[in-house]
Amino acid sequence: MSISSEKHEEPNAAGGHDGKAGILEDEFLQLADLVTVKKDAAKKAAKGALAELDVMIRDKRWEDAVELFHPLEDKIPEAAGSGLEGSVRQKIAFALGQIKRFDDAIQELEICIQKDAENFYLHNSLAYTAYNSLYAAKNREIFLSGKNRQERIDLAHRHFTAAQAIRPDGVTNFYRQGMLYRQIQNKDRDALPLFLKAIANWEGLAPEEREARHQERKNYVKSLYQGASAVLESGRPQKALDLLKRCLAEDNGSEYISMTFKYFALGKVHFNMCRFIEARDALLFSLKCNSSGPVDFVRELLGRTYLALGNPAKGLQEIERIPEKIRRPYVRWTESDLRISLEDFAGARTALINCTERDNRSRHKTLVRLARLEYLLGSYREVMGYGKKACEFFAEKWGLVYAEGLYWQALGAYRLGLTDDARSLVNQLETEHPNYPELNKLKKHLS
């Protein structure tokens, strides 16, 4: 076709085009953009919803907010596509999270992210919502297990990482992801770099930036505390002490973390450094600071500290201040050690037996403690029995062979003269755990 045969629409006198066929719409301007009456009304409705939501959130009227505005498509459909839809959904999601409707909250935020994938606040909100749901499950406020729990963990990590990529100098998202690893997944090694990153980010801010982002200081202080705990678990008490001293200095006056917990942590660090007098003093101060809440963990460590200082009677007094019905397994283990040191073997046995009746997680460890106690008392059939029970519990709970249980069964059999049984158990131990520390010593006695 020649150029002369192409059809052109000539502009009118005003320089425009007559008729819709001549409209040149593109991504910058559409015809509908020129007539904004509906869009203006929708935006006004969305602004009104945001104002209402702000008041309800400020007054903690979560149920009212959800009842009035959720689902958005039904309650305020005019807000959809208004330009403020994301802000409205984000506030609805926050209210949903406050009443533990985490699935609905996550769905709202995922809709927002689909439309605005580079929005830091949306990724931050979704990560925080997923993180909160996992804490709620841990506290048995909601039910999450197996595949659903792992998917929720993965979701939180994914959006923490996305938020960090958008704002790599943040504090809160690194701290929260560290807590996800530490408190939900029990992975201190993975948590520690995140706490250290949160600390470094805050300390790298200029004074005016710290002032502008003052709300993040709380999580900087918490990162110092959690970082100290994670470092201690990795076997570096001196580094833990350095972080904890900085935490005590930074938190002086603000008390983001209670004095009870901070001085308990200080006592724990000193204990791990074999500074037992310093540990005792820190733990006594921790108890003095407490105004409410449980302190059984403080008294248990204080009991162990007195034992290390050669005063088991004083240590037992601390344990006996803990009501018997709330003595957790690790408390019972310390109680047993203290009673053994005082040669109250019957009392130690009773403490451990009471522990096995209530413990459905670490019972195998208590059963081995009973086996060890009965061995010293010459009750070798009891030793074999407790070793066997420990193996059975461990196999039922985790589907694995428990080396300690096998060893004490074998040792009990050896002392009873049941040589064939002892050899069979030792062979099983060697097959499953060839590097067990006491294996070769026992094998020599059986050769």
| Closest C-alpha to 351, from 377, 380, 320 | 320
CA distances from 358 to 56, 343, 349 (A): 45, 25, 15
What is the spatial distance between Cα 36 and Cα 255, in angstroms, rounded to a whole number? 52
- Is the Cα torsion angle 49, 52, 56, 57 positive or negative in sign? positive
Residue 320: Cβ within 10 Å count: 14
Domains of the chain in start order, with CATH, are: 41-167 (1.25.40.10)
| Residue-by-residue pLDDT tens, the chain, 447 positions | 444 444 444 544 444 444 555 678 887 777 766 645 566 666 787 888 889 999 999 999 999 999 999 998 888 887 777 678 888 899 999 999 999 999 999 999 999 999 999 999 999 999 999 999 999 999 999 999 889 999 999 999 999 999 999 999 999 999 999 999 999 999 999 999 999 999 999 999 999 999 999 999 999 999 999 999 999 999 999 999 999 999 999 999 999 999 999 999 999 999 999 999 999 999 999 999 977 788 999 999 999 999 999 999 999 999 999 999 999 999 999 999 999 999 999 999 999 999 998 899 999 999 999 999 999 999 999 999 999 999 999 999 999 999 999 999 999 999 999 999 999 999 999 999 999 999 999 999 998
| 392, amino acid identity | E
What is the spatial distance between Cα 260 and Cα 270, in angstroms, rounded to a whole number? 15
Which two tokens mark 91? 């506030």
If you write DSSP's letter for every residue of 366-425 in order, what string do you get? Answer: HHHHHHHHHHHTT-HHHHHHHHHHHHHHHHHHHSS--HHHHHHHHHHHHHTT-HHHHHHH
The one-character DSSP state at 236 is -
Note whether 262 and 241 are within 8 A (CB). no
Long-range contacts of 416-425 (CB under 8 A, 24+ apart): 416/380, 416/381, 416/384, 419/446, 422/446
Which two tokens mark 169? 């100098």
| Closest C-alpha to 341, from 293, 398, 303, 367 | 303
Which residues contact residue 92 at a Cβ distance below 8 angstroms, ignoring those fewer than 6 apart?
Answer: 53, 65, 66, 69, 70, 72, 105, 108
CA distances from 46 to 42, 60, 97, 260, 348 (A): 6, 20, 21, 47, 68
Q: Which helix (H) or strand (E) holds 154?
A: helix 146-166
Tell me the whole-structure pTM to 2 decimals.
Answer: 0.84
| 235, amino acid identity | G
